[in-house]
């Protein structure tokens, strides 16, 4: 039967909508004005004057719930990670594999296929971060696992698979013809862990690159005579930039400057979450290295950043508190904009008739969360 959520403020594409919405067959059937009654037989839920927000879409989820995707590239691992993040408003996510062997990449892609076929809540595809990265910008990635884009790896990446495939690479290490082949195979290309010049990035943008992974981190900065990856990213109006807003990965003042340089609908929040996200863990193992938690971020024994323990709800709160963004803008950076980057909108990331009923019910501080995926409450 249809489910009717009433007595709410709904964040619709045109702004805040006072009233509610109707869910039918797992999708949004209609937005209701305030005071509109339900039809006989409808299941009516009064949300108590709380907010109904589009579900959060996270493009970079290395782990959560105590699980690292690299360690458990299987259906059970994906399900556990998704469950941990769903508790904090994430309704679509890409389990993210950091640099690893071609064999592990194949296993991870097969696991994502299986999870999608089995309708594991929230899984929308895979993010393969590496291994075609710059040695000098590897960050916490294991240098021994980095490699060039050889014929075998290219074939694995271009195979047809279910859901979205997002690939982070260093564009200076990839031939233009290979960028074009990846893009023609439907792979979404993002620059990251790169030592490229601005000219090299601009060439890649002309041949399939459309995004930048965790802007500012592990990429060449802007200087007086070389804009670098950062400068090329901010100068390009169409590409999307992922932002880690935890107060440490990038100084909030720098992020506020970035938001003034290009259209704001090209910035999206990411968690870059590690296994401790959604848990009380204070330490975990990353490919043989001990990683500890400091506030919202993770560091190795040398103090090098190694992802975060952010959830999307916390990332949205940080964006309002640290970047002075209105709540509706921060929410769109966590839902609509990443969905558009991945080609998932308007089915995901928007509260419009016809979209999947993926939504978050919360108070203005994003507390007391309820998460619904496909019209059912999952957290």
From the number of C-beta atoms within 10 Å of its C-beta (0-12, 13-18, 19+), residue 259 rates as buried
Three-state helix/strand/coil letters over the chain: CCEEEEEEEEEECCEEEEEEEEEECCEEEEEEECCCCCCCCCEEEEEEEEEEEECEEEEEECEECCEECCCCCCHHHHHHHHHHHHCCCEEEEEEEEECCCHHHHHHHHHHHHHHHHCCCCCECEEEEECCCCCHHHCCCCCHHHCCCCCHHHHHHHHCCCCCEEEEEECHHHCCHHHHHHHHHCCCEEEECCECCCHHHHHHHHHCCEEEECCCCCCECCCCCCCCHHHHHHHHCCCCEEEECCCCCCCCHHHHHHHHCCCCHHHEEECCCECCCCCCCCCEEEECCEEEEEECCEEECCCCCEEEECCCHHHHHHHHHHHCCCCHHHHHHHHCHHHHHHHCCCCCCCCCCCCCECCEEEECCCCCCCEEEECCEECC
- Rounded to a whole number of angstroms, the distance between the first and last alpha carbons of the chain is 21
Residues 192 and 213 sit within 8 Å (Cβ to Cβ): yes
Cβ(360)–Cβ(344) below 8 Å? no
Nearest to 134 by CA among 98, 190, 96, 172: 172
Catalytic residue chosen out of the listed positions 272, 296, 358, 363: 272
- Residue 40: CB atoms within 10 A of its CB come to 5
272 carries an active-site annotation? yes
Give the integer Cα–Cα distance in Å for 78 and 241: 25
Active site residue ranges: 272
């Amino acid at each position: 039967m249809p489910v009717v959520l009433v007595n709410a403020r709904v964040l619709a594409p045109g702004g805040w909508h006072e009233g509610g919405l109707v869910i039918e067959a797992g999708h949004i059937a209609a937005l209701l004005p305030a005071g509109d009654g339900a039809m006989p037989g409808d299941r009516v839920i009064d949300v108590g004057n709380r907010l109904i927000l589009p579900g959060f879409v996270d493009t970079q989820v290395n782990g959560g719930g105590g699980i690292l995707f690299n360690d458990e590239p299987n259906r059970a691992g994906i399900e556990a990670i998704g469950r941990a993040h769903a508790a904090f408003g994430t309704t679509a996510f890409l389990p993210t594999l950091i640099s690893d062997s071609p064999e592990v990449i194949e296993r991870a892609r097969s696991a994502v296929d299986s999870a999608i076929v089995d309708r594991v809540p929230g899984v929308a595809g895979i993010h393969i971060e590496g291994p075609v990265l710059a040695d000098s910008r590897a960050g916490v990635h294991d240098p021994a696992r980095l490699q060039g884009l050889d014929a075998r790896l290219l074939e694995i990446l271009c195979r047809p698979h279910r859901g979205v495939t997002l690939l982070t690479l260093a564009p200076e290490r990839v031939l233009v013809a290979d960028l074009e082949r990846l893009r023609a195979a439907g792979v979404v290309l993002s620059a990251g862990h790169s030592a490229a010049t601005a000219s090299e990035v601009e060439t890649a943008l002309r041949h399939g690159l459309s995004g930048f992974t965790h802007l500012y981190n592990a990429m060449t900065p802007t200087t007086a005579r070389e804009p670098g990856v950062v400068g090329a990213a901010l100068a390009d109006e169409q590409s999307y930039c992922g932002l880690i807003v935890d107060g440490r990965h990038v100084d909030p003042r720098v992020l506020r400057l970035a938001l003034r340089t290009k259209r704001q609908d090209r910035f999206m929040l990411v968690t870059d979450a590690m296994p401790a996200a959604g848990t009380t863990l204070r330490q975990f193992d990353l490919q043989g290295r001990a990683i500890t938690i400091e506030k919202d971020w993770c560091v190795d024994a040398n103090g090098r950043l190694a992802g975060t323990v952010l959830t999307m709800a916390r990332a949205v709160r940080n964006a309002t508190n640290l970047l002075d963004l209105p709540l509706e803008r921060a929410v769109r950076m966590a839902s609509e904009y990443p969905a558009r980057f991945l080609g998932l909108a308007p089915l995901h990331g928007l509260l419009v008739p016809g979209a999947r009923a993926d939504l978050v019910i919360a108070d203005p501080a994003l507390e007391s969360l309820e998460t619904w995926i496909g019209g059912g409450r999952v957290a």
